[in-house]
Protein backbone atom coordinates (compact mmCIF):
# COMPACT_ATOMS: atom_id res chain seq x y z
CA UNK A 1 0.00 0.00 0.00
CA UNK A 2 1.29 3.36 -0.99
CA UNK A 3 2.31 5.43 2.03
CA UNK A 4 1.57 8.92 0.95
CA UNK A 5 -0.74 9.10 3.91
CA UNK A 6 1.78 9.75 6.64
CA UNK A 7 0.46 13.10 7.71
CA UNK A 8 -2.89 13.09 9.45
CA UNK A 9 -5.56 15.27 7.86
CA UNK A 10 -6.39 18.31 9.96
CA UNK A 11 -9.93 19.11 11.09
CA UNK A 12 -9.82 22.18 8.88
CA UNK A 13 -9.17 19.92 5.89
CA UNK A 14 -11.80 17.44 7.04
CA UNK A 15 -14.65 19.95 6.96
CA UNK A 16 -13.85 20.68 3.31
CA UNK A 17 -14.02 17.00 2.38
CA UNK A 18 -17.30 16.01 3.99
CA UNK A 19 -19.42 16.27 0.86
CA UNK A 20 -16.84 14.45 -1.26
CA UNK A 21 -16.92 11.78 1.40
CA UNK A 22 -20.70 11.56 1.62
CA UNK A 23 -21.01 11.53 -2.17
CA UNK A 24 -18.48 8.73 -2.42
CA UNK A 25 -16.03 10.83 -4.40
CA UNK A 26 -12.90 10.21 -2.35
CA UNK A 27 -10.44 7.71 -3.80
CA UNK A 28 -9.29 4.84 -1.61
CA UNK A 29 -6.23 6.61 -0.25
CA UNK A 30 -8.13 9.79 0.58
CA UNK A 31 -10.92 7.81 2.13
CA UNK A 32 -8.47 5.91 4.30
CA UNK A 33 -7.02 9.20 5.53
CA UNK A 34 -10.50 10.55 6.15
CA UNK A 35 -11.48 7.46 8.14
CA UNK A 36 -8.24 7.56 10.10
CA UNK A 37 -9.00 11.09 11.21
CA UNK A 38 -12.59 10.28 12.13
CA UNK A 39 -11.39 7.34 14.23
CA UNK A 40 -9.36 9.73 16.31
CA UNK A 41 -11.49 12.88 16.37
CA UNK A 42 -14.83 13.08 18.17
CA UNK A 43 -15.39 16.69 17.09
CA UNK A 44 -15.17 15.80 13.40
CA UNK A 45 -17.37 12.75 13.97
CA UNK A 46 -19.96 15.11 15.42
CA UNK A 47 -19.45 17.58 12.60
CA UNK A 48 -20.09 14.92 9.96
CA UNK A 49 -23.10 13.70 11.90
CA UNK A 50 -24.48 17.26 11.92
CA UNK A 51 -23.96 17.53 8.18
CA UNK A 52 -25.94 14.32 7.75
CA UNK A 53 -28.68 15.60 10.02
CA UNK A 54 -28.78 18.82 8.03
CA UNK A 55 -29.26 16.90 4.79
CA UNK A 56 -32.00 14.74 6.28
CA UNK A 57 -33.76 17.80 7.71
CA UNK A 58 -33.63 19.56 4.33
CA UNK A 59 -35.24 16.51 2.76
CA UNK A 60 -38.12 16.77 5.22
CA UNK A 61 -39.08 20.32 4.37
CA UNK A 62 -42.55 20.01 2.88
CA UNK A 63 -42.76 21.28 -0.64
CA UNK A 64 -45.50 23.74 -1.42
CA UNK A 65 -48.17 23.00 -3.89
CA UNK A 66 -49.91 25.64 -5.91
CA UNK A 67 -53.25 26.98 -4.76
CA UNK A 68 -56.60 25.84 -6.11
CA UNK A 69 -57.24 29.10 -7.96
CA UNK A 70 -53.83 28.98 -9.57
CA UNK A 71 -54.55 25.44 -10.68
CA UNK A 72 -57.88 26.45 -12.19
CA UNK A 73 -56.24 29.31 -14.07
CA UNK A 74 -53.63 26.93 -15.28
CA UNK A 75 -56.16 24.46 -16.62
CA UNK A 76 -57.99 27.29 -18.35
CA UNK A 77 -54.70 28.32 -19.91
CA UNK A 78 -54.16 24.75 -21.01
CA UNK A 79 -57.55 24.58 -22.76
CA UNK A 80 -56.79 27.87 -24.40
CA UNK A 81 -53.43 26.57 -25.60
CA UNK A 82 -55.02 23.37 -26.86
CA UNK A 83 -57.68 25.23 -28.80
CA UNK A 84 -55.11 27.48 -30.40
CA UNK A 85 -52.82 24.68 -31.46
CA UNK A 86 -55.56 22.28 -32.53
CA UNK B 1 -25.22 33.91 -14.93
CA UNK B 2 -25.44 32.11 -18.21
CA UNK B 3 -29.15 31.72 -18.35
CA UNK B 4 -29.31 30.95 -22.02
CA UNK B 5 -26.74 28.25 -21.63
CA UNK B 6 -28.51 26.84 -18.61
CA UNK B 7 -31.69 26.56 -20.62
CA UNK B 8 -29.92 24.89 -23.48
CA UNK B 9 -28.06 22.65 -21.10
CA UNK B 10 -31.41 21.55 -19.79
CA UNK B 11 -32.63 20.64 -23.24
CA UNK B 12 -29.45 19.02 -24.48
CA UNK B 13 -27.61 17.88 -21.43
CA UNK B 14 -28.60 14.38 -20.41
CA UNK B 15 -29.17 12.24 -23.44
CA UNK B 16 -28.85 8.87 -21.71
CA UNK B 17 -31.30 5.99 -21.68
CA UNK B 18 -34.87 5.83 -22.80
CA UNK B 19 -37.31 8.61 -22.12
CA UNK B 20 -39.77 7.67 -19.38
CA UNK B 21 -41.77 10.81 -20.17
CA UNK B 22 -42.47 9.82 -23.77
CA UNK B 23 -46.00 8.64 -23.19
CA UNK B 24 -46.95 11.66 -21.12
CA UNK B 25 -45.45 13.93 -23.75
CA UNK B 26 -47.41 12.27 -26.52
CA UNK B 27 -50.62 12.74 -24.57
CA UNK B 28 -49.79 16.36 -23.83
CA UNK B 29 -49.14 17.05 -27.47
CA UNK B 30 -52.52 15.58 -28.28
CA UNK B 31 -54.04 18.08 -25.84
CA UNK B 32 -54.97 15.55 -23.15
CA UNK B 33 -56.05 17.58 -20.12
CA UNK B 34 -55.50 14.72 -17.69
CA UNK B 35 -51.92 14.46 -18.86
CA UNK B 36 -51.42 18.13 -18.11
CA UNK B 37 -53.04 17.76 -14.72
CA UNK B 38 -50.71 14.85 -13.95
CA UNK B 39 -47.72 16.91 -14.99
CA UNK B 40 -48.73 19.82 -12.78
CA UNK B 41 -49.44 17.62 -9.79
CA UNK B 42 -46.18 15.81 -10.15
CA UNK B 43 -43.88 18.76 -10.67
CA UNK B 44 -45.83 21.72 -9.28
CA UNK B 45 -44.71 21.42 -5.64
CA UNK B 46 -41.02 21.36 -6.37
CA UNK B 47 -41.37 24.18 -8.90
CA UNK B 48 -42.99 26.35 -6.25
CA UNK B 49 -40.21 25.62 -3.82
CA UNK B 50 -37.57 26.28 -6.42
CA UNK B 51 -39.09 29.56 -7.50
CA UNK B 52 -39.74 30.75 -3.97
CA UNK B 53 -36.02 30.72 -3.39
CA UNK B 54 -35.79 33.56 -5.87
CA UNK B 55 -38.77 35.79 -5.43
CA UNK B 56 -40.03 37.70 -2.42
CA UNK B 57 -43.55 36.41 -2.10
CA UNK B 58 -45.75 33.45 -2.65
CA UNK B 59 -48.05 35.30 -5.03
CA UNK B 60 -45.16 36.24 -7.28
CA UNK B 61 -43.92 32.66 -7.13
CA UNK B 62 -47.33 31.46 -8.28
CA UNK B 63 -47.19 33.87 -11.21
CA UNK B 64 -43.76 32.66 -12.16
CA UNK B 65 -44.80 29.03 -11.92
CA UNK B 66 -47.88 29.82 -14.01
CA UNK B 67 -45.68 31.49 -16.64
CA UNK B 68 -43.43 28.47 -16.55
CA UNK B 69 -46.29 26.11 -17.38
CA UNK B 70 -47.34 28.30 -20.28
CA UNK B 71 -43.77 28.32 -21.56
CA UNK B 72 -43.72 24.54 -21.19
CA UNK B 73 -46.89 24.21 -23.27
CA UNK B 74 -45.61 26.55 -25.91
CA UNK B 75 -42.26 24.79 -26.00
CA UNK B 76 -43.60 21.23 -26.14
CA UNK B 77 -43.02 20.92 -29.86
CA UNK B 78 -39.43 22.01 -29.49
CA UNK B 79 -38.65 19.73 -26.56
CA UNK B 80 -36.52 16.93 -27.93
CA UNK B 81 -36.59 14.65 -24.94
CA UNK B 82 -32.83 14.55 -24.58
CA UNK B 83 -33.09 15.48 -20.93
CA UNK B 84 -35.88 14.46 -18.62
CA UNK B 85 -39.03 16.51 -18.76
CA UNK B 86 -38.45 17.59 -15.18
CA UNK B 87 -34.97 18.89 -15.95
CA UNK B 88 -36.27 20.87 -18.87
CA UNK B 89 -39.16 22.35 -16.89
CA UNK B 90 -36.83 23.27 -14.03
CA UNK B 91 -34.47 25.17 -16.30
CA UNK B 92 -37.37 27.16 -17.72
CA UNK B 93 -38.60 27.96 -14.20
CA UNK B 94 -35.14 28.97 -13.05
CA UNK B 95 -34.67 31.35 -15.94
CA UNK B 96 -38.00 32.99 -15.24
CA UNK B 97 -37.42 33.09 -11.50
CA UNK B 98 -33.99 34.65 -11.87
CA UNK B 99 -35.30 37.34 -14.17
CA UNK B 100 -38.26 38.03 -11.94
CA UNK B 101 -36.21 37.86 -8.75
CA UNK B 102 -33.83 40.48 -10.05
CA UNK B 103 -36.66 42.69 -11.22
CA UNK B 104 -38.36 42.49 -7.83
CA UNK B 105 -35.20 43.55 -6.11
CA UNK B 106 -34.77 40.32 -4.24
CA UNK B 107 -31.31 38.72 -4.49
CA UNK B 108 -29.77 42.12 -5.22
CA UNK B 109 -28.97 43.32 -1.67
CA UNK B 110 -25.58 41.91 -0.77
CA UNK B 111 -25.36 40.18 -4.12
CA UNK B 112 -22.23 42.06 -5.03
CA UNK B 113 -20.59 41.29 -1.72
CA UNK B 114 -21.45 37.69 -2.13
CA UNK B 115 -20.51 37.32 -5.73
CA UNK B 116 -16.95 36.37 -4.93
CA UNK B 117 -18.24 33.39 -3.00
CA UNK B 118 -20.37 32.38 -5.94
CA UNK B 119 -18.27 29.56 -7.30
CA UNK B 120 -17.14 28.28 -3.98
CA UNK B 121 -14.62 30.64 -2.37
CA UNK B 122 -14.45 30.93 1.39
CA UNK B 123 -14.05 28.19 3.96
CA UNK B 124 -16.80 25.79 5.05
CA UNK B 125 -16.14 26.69 8.67
CA UNK B 126 -14.65 29.99 9.82
CA UNK B 127 -10.88 29.76 10.02
CA UNK B 128 -10.86 31.11 13.56
CA UNK B 129 -12.62 27.98 14.78
CA UNK B 130 -9.34 26.12 14.19
CA UNK B 131 -5.98 26.33 15.93
CA UNK B 132 -3.47 28.56 14.20
CA UNK B 133 0.06 27.71 13.20
CA UNK B 134 1.31 28.15 16.73
CA UNK B 135 -1.43 26.07 18.32
CA UNK B 136 -0.82 22.70 19.89
CA UNK B 137 -2.29 20.97 16.83
CA UNK B 138 -2.48 23.45 13.97
CA UNK B 139 -5.58 23.02 11.83
CA UNK B 140 -7.43 21.03 14.48
CA UNK B 141 -10.52 22.39 16.17
CA UNK B 142 -10.02 25.26 18.61
CA UNK B 143 -13.74 25.76 18.99
CA UNK B 144 -15.26 22.39 18.11
CA UNK B 145 -18.91 21.83 17.23
CA UNK B 146 -21.13 20.99 20.18
CA UNK B 147 -23.99 18.52 20.16
CA UNK B 148 -27.38 20.00 19.31
CA UNK B 149 -30.15 19.74 21.82
CA UNK B 150 -32.83 17.22 20.90
CA UNK B 151 -31.94 17.30 17.22
CA UNK B 152 -34.59 14.79 16.16
CA UNK B 153 -37.41 16.90 17.53
CA UNK B 154 -35.88 20.31 16.82
CA UNK B 155 -34.97 19.64 13.21
CA UNK B 156 -38.58 18.82 12.38
CA UNK B 157 -39.94 21.99 14.01
CA UNK B 158 -41.37 24.71 11.80
CA UNK B 159 -39.06 27.34 13.35
CA UNK B 160 -36.01 25.28 12.50
CA UNK B 161 -37.24 24.86 8.95
CA UNK B 162 -37.49 28.62 8.69
CA UNK B 163 -33.91 28.91 9.89
CA UNK B 164 -32.85 26.55 7.11
CA UNK B 165 -34.89 28.32 4.47
CA UNK B 166 -33.53 31.71 5.52
CA UNK B 167 -30.00 30.35 5.34
CA UNK B 168 -30.72 29.07 1.86
CA UNK B 169 -32.15 32.38 0.73
CA UNK B 170 -28.97 34.08 1.86
CA UNK B 171 -26.81 31.82 -0.29
CA UNK B 172 -25.39 32.93 -3.62
CA UNK B 173 -27.85 31.93 -6.39
CA UNK B 174 -25.98 28.92 -7.73
CA UNK B 175 -25.49 27.40 -4.30
CA UNK B 176 -29.13 28.05 -3.50
CA UNK B 177 -30.28 26.30 -6.64
CA UNK B 178 -28.05 23.29 -6.14
CA UNK B 179 -29.06 22.70 -2.52
CA UNK B 180 -32.75 23.27 -3.25
CA UNK B 181 -32.71 20.67 -5.99
CA UNK B 182 -30.38 18.15 -4.38
CA UNK B 183 -31.46 18.21 -0.76
CA UNK B 184 -34.97 19.66 -0.68
CA UNK B 185 -36.32 18.19 -3.90
CA UNK B 186 -34.13 15.10 -3.73
CA UNK B 187 -32.71 15.17 -7.24
CA UNK B 188 -29.56 13.23 -7.96
CA UNK B 189 -26.29 14.90 -8.91
CA UNK B 190 -26.65 14.11 -12.59
CA UNK B 191 -30.08 15.72 -12.88
CA UNK B 192 -28.86 18.84 -11.12
CA UNK B 193 -25.81 19.07 -13.34
CA UNK B 194 -28.02 18.93 -16.39
CA UNK B 195 -30.62 21.40 -15.19
CA UNK B 196 -28.04 23.95 -14.08
CA UNK B 197 -25.40 23.21 -16.68
CA UNK B 198 -22.65 22.54 -14.15
CA UNK B 199 -19.60 20.33 -14.22
CA UNK B 200 -19.61 17.36 -11.90
CA UNK B 201 -17.01 18.96 -9.64
CA UNK B 202 -18.72 22.32 -9.63
CA UNK B 203 -22.01 20.79 -8.65
CA UNK B 204 -20.35 19.12 -5.69
CA UNK B 205 -18.43 22.23 -4.63
CA UNK B 206 -21.56 24.37 -4.70
CA UNK B 207 -23.49 21.73 -2.79
CA UNK B 208 -20.74 21.53 -0.20
CA UNK B 209 -20.66 25.30 0.33
CA UNK B 210 -24.41 25.43 0.63
CA UNK B 211 -24.69 22.53 3.06
CA UNK B 212 -21.87 23.87 5.18
CA UNK B 213 -23.65 27.19 5.53
CA UNK B 214 -26.99 25.64 6.37
CA UNK B 215 -25.29 23.50 9.00
CA UNK B 216 -23.65 26.63 10.39
CA UNK B 217 -27.04 28.36 10.59
CA UNK B 218 -28.46 25.34 12.41
CA UNK B 219 -25.50 25.32 14.76
CA UNK B 220 -26.13 28.94 15.58
CA UNK B 221 -29.80 28.24 16.25
CA UNK B 222 -29.61 24.84 17.98
CA UNK B 223 -26.56 25.33 20.10
CA UNK B 224 -27.29 24.87 23.80
CA UNK B 225 -27.89 28.06 25.77
CA UNK B 226 -25.01 27.49 28.15
CA UNK B 227 -21.89 28.85 26.49
CA UNK B 228 -19.41 26.11 25.79
CA UNK B 229 -15.90 27.27 26.42
CA UNK B 230 -13.15 26.46 23.99
CA UNK B 231 -10.81 23.74 25.18
List the 101-120 stretch of B: residues with Cβ below 8 A of A: none
ipTM for the predicted complex comes to 0.77
Looking at residue A9, the DSSP 8-state letter turns out to be P
CA dist., res. B225 & res. B231, Å (int):
18
Q: Residue B85 maps to which CATH number?
A: 1.10.1740.10
Hey, what CATH topology would domain A11-85 get?
A: Arc Repressor Mutant, subunit A (1.10.10)
Q: What is the mean pLDDT of residues A42-57?
A: 96
Chain B residues near residue A67 by CB distance under 8 angstroms? 62
CA–CA min distance A2, chain B (Å): 24
- Residue B230 lies inside a defined structural domain of this protein: no
Task: State the residue range of the domain holding B51.
Answer: 3-103
Q: DSSP of B128-173, one letter per residue?
A: GGB--TTSSSTTSBSS---PPSSHHHHHHSHHHHHHHHHHHHTS-H
CA dist., res. B85 & res. B25, Å (int):
9
Closest chain A CA to residue B217: A54
Please give the share of chain B, as a percent, with pLDDT higher than 70.
Answer: 80
Contact B70 A81 (CB under 8 A): yes
Residues B149 and B173 both lie in one domain: yes
Expressed in percent and rounded to 5, the helix, strand and coil fractions of chain B are 60, 0, 35
List, for residues A50-86, the tens digit of each pLDDT value: 999 999 999 888 766 556 777 787 888 888 888 887 6
B93, containing H or E segment: helix B85-103
List, for residues B127-177, the tens digit of each pLDDT value: 999 999 999 999 999 999 999 988 888 888 888 988 998 898 888 888 988
pTM comes to: 0.67
Closest chain B CA to residue A76: B33
CA dist., res. B216 & res. B166, Å (int):
12
The partner residue sitting opposite A67, judged by closest CB among B62, B123, B165, is B62
**B53 interfaces chain A, CB cutoff of 8 Å:** no
- Residue B228 lies inside a defined structural domain of this protein: no
Q: Count the domains in chain B.
A: 2
Report which of residues B9 and B53 the model is more confident about.
B53
Domain boundary among B44, B70, B103: B103
Amino acid sequence: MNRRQKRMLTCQEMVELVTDYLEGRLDDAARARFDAHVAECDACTLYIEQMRMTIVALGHIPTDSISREAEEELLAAFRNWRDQTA
Amino acid sequence: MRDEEAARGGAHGAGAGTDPDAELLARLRRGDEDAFRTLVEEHGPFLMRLVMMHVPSRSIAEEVVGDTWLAVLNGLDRFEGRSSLRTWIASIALNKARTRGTREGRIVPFALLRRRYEEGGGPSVDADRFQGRHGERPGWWASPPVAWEEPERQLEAAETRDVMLRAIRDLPPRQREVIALRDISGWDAEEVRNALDLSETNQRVLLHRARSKVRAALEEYLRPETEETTP
